[in-house]
Structure 1
Amino acid sequence: MTQTEFVENDNVPDVVVDDETEADDLGLYETAPSSLPYFGADFDVAGLVRRLDDNDILVPRFDPDESDDLTIEGFQRQRVWTTPRMEKFIESLLLGWPVPSIFLVVEPDGRYLVLDGQQRLTTLQSFYSGSHPDGRPFVLRDVSEHLHGATFETLSKESKRRLNNTFIQAVVIEPAGDEGRDAVYRLFGRLNSGGVSLTAQEIRVALYRGPLVDFIRELNHNSSWRLLFGAAHKKLKDHELVLRAVAMADVISQTAGEWDNEDMWLNAYKPPMAQFLNNFLESHGDLADFDRNALSSAFSTSCKLLVDANGRDGLKFAGRLNAAHIDAVLGTLIFAHQNGMKVTKDRVKETIATLRSDDAYIDWVSRSTSHRDSVYGRLRTAHSALLG
C-alpha cells in the first residue's frame, strides 16, 4: 500500500495584532507575566522510582491501533535508548557524575507529567526492577570494569544507598491560567526540537488525555473509516482527522441555519486550527457535552455512507486525502446523522462530484485552510450541498 498523503496548506502565518505602546519615554519594552510558572527541585533517585511505581509520575504512552499491535510512545516520540546507552546512564549515576535535568508538569490532580526525561526515568525504573521492559535481565556490561556484571540487587549496601540518595535536578512547571496548558503544548515542541519530529496530535494525546482522546481512538478503529483512510498512521494523522470531523460537526451544530450570523461564527470557530483543536479537547475532554452512543453511531453511519457512495476513494480530493475536505464533508454528515437527517448514498455521490469541481470550494480546501473564512466557506458549501 502506498503511503497516505495529506494536504494541509496554510501558508499564511498567524498574526497577532496588538496596540503598540511604549513602556516609557526611553522606549523600553515590558514582557507579559509568564503563563508557565516553574521552579527548580531536586529529587532523589529512590523517590523518583517510587513515584513512577506508584503512578504519581506519569510517562504517557498511546497505542494508536492495538489491532495492528503497534506501540507508539506519545508525547516523547524520541528514538528509544539502546541498551548500551541505558547502561551508560546508570554508570554515570553510580560514578557520581552529573546527568541532565528533567522537566515535569504538575497535573490538576497533583501528579507529575513527564515533559522531558522519559528515557532517563524509565531506565531508572527498569534498573531498580532488575529487568528491561522486554523481560531481559538488566545487567551492566558496557561499563567500567569494576561495575561489569552488576545489577541493582548485587550492588553493595553502600552503593545502593549512594544511588538512592543521588539527586536529579528537575524543572517543575505549574501551568497558570487559561493559557497554561497551551503554553505547555508549545514548550514541549521546543524542548524536543532536536529529537524526532512530533506531530501536533502526538502531543495532544498525552497533554489532553482523557475520555475524549480515548473515544477518538475507538472511532479510529471503525472498519469503514479504515477503508477510507487506509493503514493506521504511525504519527496519528488518522486520529487528528477524526478529531477534526467531530469538532467541525460541533461547529455546524452551533451555526447551522445562521450562516450569516457573524457573531455566532466568531464564537464557534477561532483560528488557527491547531489551537482550535487544543481548545476543543480542553473544553470537551470529559465527553460530558456529547451523547457518546449517538456520536459513535453518527460517525459509523457517515463513514459507511461515504464508502457506499464512492468506495475507498470516498474522502479523497484530487486523488489525495485532504484534511480540510474531510473535516467539511465528514463533519457535515456527522452533524446530519446526530440530528436525524436522512442523507442518501446518491446524494453523497452527487455532492462529492459537485464539490470537486467547485472553484470556490477548491480554494477553501487548498489555501489558508485554517482561516475562518475558509472554514466557514467550505462548511457552508458542504452543508448546503448535502442537506439542501
Structure 2
Amino acid sequence: MDDQAAKPADAVDDVVDESLDDDEGLFHMQESALTYFGADFDVRGLVQRLNDGDIVIPRFDPDESDGASLDGFQRRPVWNKTRMEKFIESLLLGWPVPSIFMVLDSDQRYLVLDGQQRLTALQRFYDGYYPDGKEFALTNVAEHLQGSTYETLGPDSKRRLNNTFIQATVIEPSGDDGPESVYRLFDRLNSGGVSLTAQEIRVALFLGPAINWVRDLNTNQDWRNLYGPPSQRLKDHELILRSLAMEEVVSRVGGRWDDDSVRISAYRPPMSDCLNSFLTRNRSLTGLDVDSFTRAFNGSCHILFQAANRDALRLNNRINAAHVDAVLSSLMWLHLNDQVPDASDLETSLAELRKNERYIEYVTRSTSHRESVLGRLRLALNTLGGRQ
C-alpha cells in the first residue's frame, strides 16, 4: 500500500459530510407514493425465483469486475459458514425466522432490501456449495442433520424445508415520488446494527446504467489519487454522484444566481432528495451525453491532482463532501464549456477558496440547505473560472 492509501478514506474521521445531519426533517413524503403488502413465499419458490432472476439481490461490491449479469454491486460476504448453517438448521427444525423486505420494481422483479444474507444462504445450500467452492454440508447443527447436504436430506426434512414459508413485506412504489419514498422508508428500517449507507440503498433502488456509470468513473486513477483507497461503503461513489448532480444545478442556474425563481427550481433540498431525483431522471442515461461528462470528470480530476495533489479535495487534511461537490462540479462545468484553467491558476484559486470565510461557512455549516449549496457553487465556479 502506498503512502496515499495509508489510511482508509472512508473511516469515520476522514470524510466530513455535514449534509447527513442537514437532511433530517427537510423532506416531504407523499402518502400515495408508497404501498405495501404481505406475502408468504415457500423456500423452494424463493430459491427458484433467485435462480431465474425474478428476485434480485443487489450487488454492493465497489470492485465488482467478474462480469456478473446482475446490475449493481455485491456486498462482501457477511455471514460465515456457521451462521449460514444455523439459518438452514432453524428452517429444518421448524423454528421461526425473520421476515424479508423486497421492492417490486417496474419490470416486476423483486429487489431485496433486507434479507440478502438469508436468501444467499438458501441459494447456496440448494446449489450445494459455499462461496469458496467447498461442499455445503451441515456440520455445526443438530446431530440428526450433521453431514447433510440438500441432496442427501431425508425426504421428510427436504419436504419440510421446501414447504416452509418465509414472510415478506413487498413494497410497491408508485408515481415519481415512489423511489424516494422507498429510500426514506428503508433508511428508517435500516437504522440499527450494521446498516446500509445512503449510497448502498441507492444502488438497490436505482439499478441500471447510471449506477454502473458512477462505478466506472470511480476507477479513474486521478480520482483514486485524490480520494484514496476505494470506500467499502461507497462514499466515493456518492461524492461522484453529488458532483454530477451539482454540475446539473450549475447548468440550470445559467449564471442567474440572484434570480430567486431560478434558484428555487435549480436546487431543492435536501441533498439526498437531489441525488435521488438525479438518478430517477437519468437512470437509463437516455438523453445524457455520457462521453462528454466522462471526459469532463476525468479531465477535472487530472488537473486537480496536478494542481494540488491529494490535498485538492481536503480541508484541514480531511475530505470535505461539500468542498468536493463544489470544486469538482465547477471544474466539470468549465470543461464542458471549454474554459478549463491551467494547473498553476487552479492551485492559486483553490488557495483563495480556502481563505474565503463565506465559502468555508458554506462547506461546513448547513451544507444541504439551498443558501449553502448555491453559495458554494457560485463562489467555486467564479473563483476557479477566474471571475471576480
TM over 0.5: yes
Aligned to 1:9: 18
Aligned to 1:70: none
In the aligned structure 2, how far is the partner of 1:14 from the partner of 1:125? 38
Match of 1:269 among 267, 270, 273: 267
Unaligned runs of 5+ in 2: 1-5, 66-70
Match of 2:381 among 373, 380, 383: 383
Aligned to 1:82: 80
Q: Secondary structure of 1:163's partner?
A: helix
Q: Give the residue type in structure 2 aligned to 1:343.
A: P
Q: Indicate yes or no: 2:245 matched with 1:247.
A: yes
In the aligned structure 2, how far is the partner of 1:252 from the partner of 1:238? 21
Aligned to 2:3: none
Q: Secondary structure of 1:369's partner?
A: coil
Q: Indicate yes or no: 2:208 matched with 1:210.
A: yes
Aligned to 1:329: 327
In the aligned structure 2, how far is the partner of 1:47 from the partner of 1:374? 51
Deviations 1:288-331 (A, max 9, x none): 23211111111111111111111222222233211111111110
The alpha carbon displacement at 1:33 in A equals 4.0
Structure 1's 97 and 66: CA in aligned 2 closer, same or farther, altered over 3 A? closer
1:75·1:207 contact (CA, 8 Å) conserved in 2? no
In the aligned structure 1, how far is the partner of 2:256 from the partner of 2:228? 36
The alpha carbon displacement at 1:385 in A equals 1.3
Q: 259-268 or 362-371: which moved more?
A: 259-268
Aligned to 1:181: 179
Deviations 1:226-271 (A, max 9, x none): 1111111111111111111111111111112211222112111111
Structure 1's 218 and 33: CA in aligned 2 closer, same or farther, altered over 3 A? closer
In the aligned structure 2, how far is the partner of 1:376 from the partner of 1:293? 26
Structure 1's 168 and 376: CA in aligned 2 closer, same or farther, altered over 3 A? same
Q: Secondary structure of 1:135's partner?
A: coil
Q: Give the residue type in structure 1 aligned to 2:335.
A: H
In the aligned structure 2, how far is the partner of 1:134 from the partner of 1:78? 13
The alpha carbon displacement at 1:2 in A equals 2.5
Deviations 1:317-350 (A, max 9, x none): 2332111111111101101111222322222111
- How many equivalent residue pairs? 372
* Bigger radius of gyration: 1
Match of 1:169 among 167, 170, 177: 167
Q: 285-294 or 187-196: which moved more?
A: 187-196
In the aligned structure 1, how far is the partner of 2:25 from the partner of 2:232? 31
Q: Indicate yes or no: 2:313 matched with 1:315.
A: yes
The alpha carbon displacement at 1:45 in A equals 1.2
Q: Secondary structure of 2:33's partner?
A: coil
Q: Give the residue type in structure 2 aligned to 1:9.
A: E
Structure 1's 365 and 181: CA in aligned 2 closer, same or farther, altered over 3 A? same
Q: Give the residue type in structure 1 aligned to 2:7.
A: T
Q: Secondary structure of 1:61's partner?
A: coil
The alpha carbon displacement at 1:34 in A equals 5.2
In the aligned structure 2, how far is the partner of 1:342 from the partner of 1:350? 14
2:60·2:76 contact (CA, 8 Å) conserved in 1? no
Share of identical aligned residues, percent? 55
RMSD: 2.4
1:58·1:111 contact (CA, 8 Å) conserved in 2? yes
In the aligned structure 2, how far is the partner of 1:319 from the partner of 1:194? 30
Q: Give the residue type in structure 2 aligned to 1:283.
A: R
